């Protein structure tokens, strides 16, 4: 399978994993188990099969993500993982996005290839917009406000569920190719 040029950074909680299903041991912050959002597994698998690079860019504890993705049989789905506990900063910090790029050997000129997909306006969308990559709001969760408060919180694209991400990624791949936006 030929690799796509579009690079997908993706959040976890309420973007791929249903936060309402997270279980923690008493007195612990570590998520022991959680269920995926309907369609998330199929979307991740389809993106991977079609040659898109997937990087988890998520706030939380590394052990939580190890547990949840292993439990769901998706421990190998991400090409890389950037986790706030290990970076020492949460989104919207540019440190998260810079680290995520470095892990893939990308630099400034590659920013046009990157989309950041997440459910949180103040973290995922503001972070992506300030950093200068394409922002995609996953407006699936009933637990977060999906109304942008200002320009910085306004996503470039909005999708309602994981399956829409496959279509959007394919569309952006074609559009960016056509517009010569890769360099
Ligand atoms: Mg989230």
CATH number reported for the structural domain that contains residue 44 in this entry? 3.40.50.1000
Q: Is residue 1 part of a domain?
A: no
SS3 45: helix
Over its length of 183 residues, how does the chain's per-residue pLDDT go in tens digits? 789 999 999 999 999 999 999 999 899 999 999 999 999 999 999 999 999 999 999 999 999 999 999 999 999 999 999 999 999 999 999 999 999 999 999 999 999 999 999 999 999 999 999 999 999 999 999 888 889 999 999 999 999 999 999 999 999 999 999 988 875
Q: Which residues contact 105 (CB under 8 A, 6 or more apart)?
A: none
User: Minimal CA–CA distance to 134: which of 103, 95, 105, 165?
Assistant: 165
Give φ, ψ of 31 to 5 degrees: -75, 125
Q: Is residue 72 part of a domain?
A: yes
Distance CA 162, CA 15 (A): 8
According to the model, what pLDDT value does residue 66 have?
98
In angstroms, what is the span from residue 155 Cα to ligand 1's centroid?
Answer: 15
User: Minimal CA–CA distance to 138: which of 112, 169, 94, 113?
Assistant: 169
Q: Is residue 20 part of a domain?
A: yes
In angstroms, what is the span from residue 180 Cα to ligand 1's centroid?
Answer: 31
Question: pTM of the full predicted structure?
Answer: 0.97
Q: Is residue 137 part of a domain?
A: yes
Q: Is residue 2 part of a domain?
A: no
How many domains is the chain partitioned into structurally?
1
According to the model, what pLDDT value does residue 90 have?
98
CB 45 within 8 A of CB 62: no
In angstroms, what is the span from residue 110 Cα to ligand 1's centroid?
Answer: 24
- Quote the domain boundaries for residue 28: 7-178
């Amino acid at each position: 399978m030929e690799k796509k040029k579009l690079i997908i950074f993706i959040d976890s909680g309420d973007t791929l994993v249903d936060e309402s299903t997270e279980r923690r041991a008493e007195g612990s912050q570590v998520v022991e188990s959680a269920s995926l959002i309907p369609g998330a597994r199929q979307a991740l698998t389809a993106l991977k099969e079609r040659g898109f690079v997937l990087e988890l860019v998520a706030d939380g504890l590394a052990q939580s993500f190890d547990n949840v993705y292993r439990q769901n049989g998706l421990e190998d789905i991400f090409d890389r993982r950037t986790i706030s506990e290990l970076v020492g900063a949460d989104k919207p910090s540019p440190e998260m996005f810079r680290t995520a790029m470095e892990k893939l050997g990308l630099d400034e000129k590659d920013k046009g290839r990157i989309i950041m997909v997440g459910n949180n306006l103040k973290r995922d969308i503001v972070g992506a917009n300030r950093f200068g990559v394409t922002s995609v709001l996953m407006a699936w969760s009933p637990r977060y406000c999906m109304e942008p408060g200002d320009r910085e919180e306004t996503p470039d694209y909005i999708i309602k569920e994981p399956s829409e991400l496959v279509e959007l990624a394919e569309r952006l791949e074609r559009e960016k190719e056509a517009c010569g936006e890769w360099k």
